[in-house]
Each structure stands twice: as structure tokens, then as C-alpha cells.
Amino acid sequence: MVSRSSSLGCVPRALLRRQFSSSPRVPSHVGSAPIPYPPAVTFEFATLAAQSGPDPSSSLVIQGPKGRLAVNVPSFVNIDFSVPPTSDAVVAGSTSPPASLLSVAVKDASIKQQQAAWGLTRSLVANAVRGVSEGYTLSLRLVGVGYRAAVEDLAPSPSGSPTPRQRLNLKLGFAHPVLIALPPDVVASTPSSTTITLSGIDKQRLGEVAARIRSWRVPEPYNGKGIFVGDEQVKRKEVKKK
């Protein structure tokens, strides 16, 4: 009599896991979705210098009305460009030109590394296309007694090197103001004394700057005070009474 463990001993672990699912392996739904881009956006491939490793990557430079961004593309990722027929792309009554499409694919979707990078690369390219064509904005709310925010302009560097052009002056209940220098590609404004609006073309950079600002006063659940990013909400708690 053959035991269960001995009969499954030679089966690959990955295949054994797939036997417990009735659905077949499918390609990435995120990676296979085409990316529309306006005519004002252009693309250019640039080879990255001084690379190490078996799979060198290239850089896809994306330029638009708002600025210029670069996305690293692994060697196993293929990017194709296509322009749909005018009759299919233009909506009835619309005079705008048809949007071109960018498609992202990989050489072998059955390889785990390539499948993981497929959707990631597509998301990074889509974010960059939107950033250089429309830009991103992110709002922060200051909730607390005496919390205030102001934007201060900084003098440009004499050498012409990229330096912070703005900084935030925050009053967050400390004995001193909190001064936060902003990257050159992030612009801040204060529609009100308790609201900060960040804008830029790099979605990831905006998130990093917002997280750095938020870290000074993380929202707390007892009094509901802190720096809230976007539509962030905090579940309120009651103070334990003895």
C-alpha cells in the first residue's frame, strides 16, 4: 500500500498548490489593460549605463505638457504603441483626436518574476502618463487647536542646482514651528490655514512628502487630532475611565 505522502513526494510544490484551485492560471488583468495617452505625450527609450545583473533594464522617458518622468523597464517587458481607427476612437459629436494606446506585455507570463513585474510596470507607466499630462494633487487637513500651515518661498541656489523652492511652516502644538523643505518638483499651497494642497507630476513623490508631513502629527483616535491625508478618517475611541 502506497501512503499519501509518498505518492505526492515527487509532485512539484507549485503544481500541488494549483490542484486545490478549480480556476486556471490567467495573465495579469492589470498588466494586460492598455493605457490611453494624449497626442501631447511622447516616449523615448534610453539604455541605463553601468548596470549589473543578468537582466539589464532600460528607461522609458515620458514627456508631456506638465514635465518629464522616467520609468525603469525590465528587459523581459515589451511595450507596444498603437493608434486606434478614428471611427472607433472618436465619440459621436466629439472633435477631439483619437487617443493612442500603449500596451505592456512580458515574454513569459508563466514565470513568477515576470508576472509580478508585468502589472507593476504597467501601473508605473500609467501613473507617469497621467502625471506628465494632467498632474496630481493631494490635500492634507490639520485638525487640532492652534494647528496652522503656511507656505514660504525660498531663494534659488546661486549655482543653479535643483534645490527646494518652497518650505512649509507648520504650527502643530510644539514650542517651535516645524519647517519642512519641499522637493523642487512638488508645489504646495494653502487654501486655508488648516489645509495644505500638494501638486506635482510624480505620484510616488507626492505620497512620500505627504507621509513625511503626516509623521509630525499622526491622527490619534481619542481626540481626533492630527494631520489627515486626503479622505483619511480615524475611528474614534473613548478614554478608559478608572
26-133 and 137-155+163-229 share one CATH topology? yes
Give the whole-angstrom CA distance, residue 15 versus residue 242. 57
**Nearest of 69, 81, 79 to residue 39 by alpha carbon:** 81
How does residue 241 score in pLDDT terms, banded at 50, 70 and 90?
Answer: confident
Mention every residue, 6+ apart, whose C-beta is less than 8 A from residue 42. 62, 63, 64
Task: Convert the pLDDT of each residue in 1-19 to its tens digit.
Answer: 444 444 445 545 544 444 4
Q: Mean pLDDT check: name the lowest of 76-80, 139-143, 169-173, 188-192.
A: 76-80
Q: Note the pLDDT of residue 144.
A: 95
Domain boundaries in the chain?
26-133, 137-155+163-229
Give the whole-angstrom CA distance, residue 121 versus residue 72. 8
Q: Note the pLDDT of residue 164.
A: 83
Quick check: helix, strand or coil at residue 15? Answer: helix
Give the whole-angstrom CA distance, residue 173 versus residue 6. 67
Contact 219, 227 (CB under 8 A): yes
Give the whole-angstrom CA distance, residue 177 versus residue 164. 18
Q: Over the chain, what is the mean pLDDT?
A: 83
Q: Note the pLDDT of residue 240.
A: 79
CATH number of 137-155+163-229: 3.90.930.12
Q: Average the pLDDT over 24-51 and give the result.
A: 77
Whose cell is 499630462? That residue is 133
- What CATH architecture is 26-133? Alpha-Beta Complex (3.90)
> Cα separations (Å) of 46 from 58, 60, 62, 125?
6, 6, 11, 15
Mention every residue, 6+ apart, whose C-beta is less than 8 A from residue 206. 136, 138, 186, 198, 199, 200
Percentage of the chain beyond pLDDT 90 is 55
Task: Convert the pLDDT of each residue in 61-108 to its tens digit.
Answer: 999 999 999 999 998 999 998 876 554 444 444 455 557 899 999 998
